[in-house]
């Protein structure tokens, strides 16, 4: 058969191969293999302690893998010459606990990294930040103190701040787990729009309806391995493995 040229014959943005990570005697990641294609939304689900955060953190080298490879845009992150700071400019991360500077206002949180790391001019950084804050519905809060915001607003600032660096990839580690139930929706809505705009995203989440409706692929982790992965229809509609079925059953009971 002739070579089929799909739209741009795309390479994965992230390729993970044979990834292993231990903390002392505890093997947390055991032979993880995963590709993330440009524009894809991959959600990672699984029980507490299964290695989800560690996997995410290996993608931007917040953790150093013991073995295996992580490639980003074809560059092996284990290679000596990889500039970790340049890498992190291209990979935005949003944590459960916001990690904002509480003693600064919203706008300054958003312009800090572009000005200090990217050497962007302050007024240009502010112009970009105002656009991203408008995207998350917080333009009116630019001069507000972060400490006075609600959890949902803080998390939307954290997302806007990450986007100010114009990342190619966004990593989310349980971005709504610290939020009151009634404000989870406003953060998920921002993430939903980001996905619809074509952002490549890897999202660790316990929000099953988000995983079901927004992901291109769902990865189920169990005790340091990817026990099963597939489309949302496959994972939620017809899970192949008993462990996946048990996890989802337990989850949907709660």
Ligand X SMILES: Nc1ncnc2c1ncn2[C@@H]1O[C@H](COP(=O)(O)OP(=O)(O)OP(=O)(O)O)[C@@H](O)[C@H]1O
Distance of alpha carbon 85 from alpha carbon 165, whole angstroms: 12
DSSP the chain: -PPP--TT-PPPSEEEEEEEEEETTEEEEEEEEEEE-TT-EEEEEE-TTSSHHHHHHHHTTSS--SEEEEEETTEETTSTT--HHHHHHHEEEE-TT----TTSBHHHHHHHHHHHTS---HHHHHHHHHHHHHHTT-GGGTTSBGGGS-HHHHHHHHHHHHHTT--SEEEEESTTTTS-HHHHHHHHHHHHHHHHTT-EEEEE-S-HHHHHHH-SEEEEEETTEEEEEE-HIIIIIS--SHHHHHHHHHHHH-
Contact 200, 38 (CB under 8 A): yes
Establish if 205 lies at the interface with Mg ion (CB under 5 A).
no
For ligand X, which residue of 16, 19, 28, 163 counts as binding (CB under 6 A)? 28
Q: How far is the CB of 249 from ligand X (least distance, A)?
A: 18
Establish if 176 lies at the interface with ligand X (CB under 6 A).
no
Establish if 239 lies at the interface with ligand X (CB under 6 A).
no
Establish if 60 lies at the interface with ligand X (CB under 6 A).
no
For ligand X, which residue of 10, 11, 49, 147 counts as binding (CB under 6 A)? 49
For ligand X, which residue of 16, 19, 40, 50 counts as binding (CB under 6 A)? 50
Q: How far is the CB of 206 from ligand X (least distance, A)?
A: 8
Residue placing its CB nearer to ligand X in the complex, 23 or 101? 23
Residue 205 touches which member of Mg ion, ligand X, none, C-beta under 5-8 Å by kind: none
Q: Restricting to residues 8-67, which ones interact with Mg ion according to CB under 5 A?
A: 53
Q: How far is the CB of 220 from ligand X (least distance, A)?
A: 11
Establish if 244 lies at the interface with ligand X (CB under 6 A).
no
Q: How far is the CB of 196 from ligand X (least distance, A)?
A: 26
Strand partners, 80: none
Establish if 48 lies at the interface with ligand X (CB under 6 A).
yes
Establish if 51 lies at the interface with ligand X (CB under 6 A).
yes
Residue 117 touches which member of ligand X, Mg ion, none, C-beta under 5-8 Å by kind: none
Residues forming contacts to Mg ion in the complex (CB under 5 A) are 53
Residues forming contacts to ligand X in the complex (CB under 6 A) are 23, 26, 28, 46, 48-54
């Amino acid at each position: 058969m002739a070579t089929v040229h799909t739209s741009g014959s795309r390479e994965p943005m992230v390729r993970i191969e044979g990834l292993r990570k231990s903390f002392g005697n505890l093997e947390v990641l055991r032979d993880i293999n995963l590709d993330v294609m440009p524009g894809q939304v991959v959600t990672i689900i699984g029980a507490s302690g299964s290695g989800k955060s560690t996997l995410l953190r290996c993608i931007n080298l917040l953790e150093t893998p013991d073995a295996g490879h992580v490639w980003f845009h074809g560059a092996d992150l284990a290679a000596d010459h990889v500039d970790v700071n340049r890498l992190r400019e291209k990979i935005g991360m949003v944590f459960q606990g916001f990690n904002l500077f509480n003693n600064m206002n919203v706008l300054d949180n958003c312009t800090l990294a572009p000005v200090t790391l990217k050497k962007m001019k302050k007024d240009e950084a502010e112009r970009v930040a105002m656009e991203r804050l408008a995207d998350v519905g917080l333009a009116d809060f630019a001069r507000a103190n972060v400490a006075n915001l609600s959890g949902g607003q803080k998390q939307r600032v954290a997302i806007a701040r990450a986007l100010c660096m114009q990342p190619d990839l966004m990593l989310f580690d349980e971005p709504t787990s610290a939020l009151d139930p009634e404000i989870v929706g406003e953060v998920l809505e921002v993430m939903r729009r980001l996905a619809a705009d074509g952002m490549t995203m890897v999202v660790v989440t316990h929000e099953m309806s988000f995983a079901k409706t927004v992901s291109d692929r769902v990865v189920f982790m169990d005790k340091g391995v990817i026990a099963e992965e597939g489309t949302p229809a496959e994972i939620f509609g017809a899970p192949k493995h008993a462990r996946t079925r048990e996890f989802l059953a337990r989850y949907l009971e709660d």
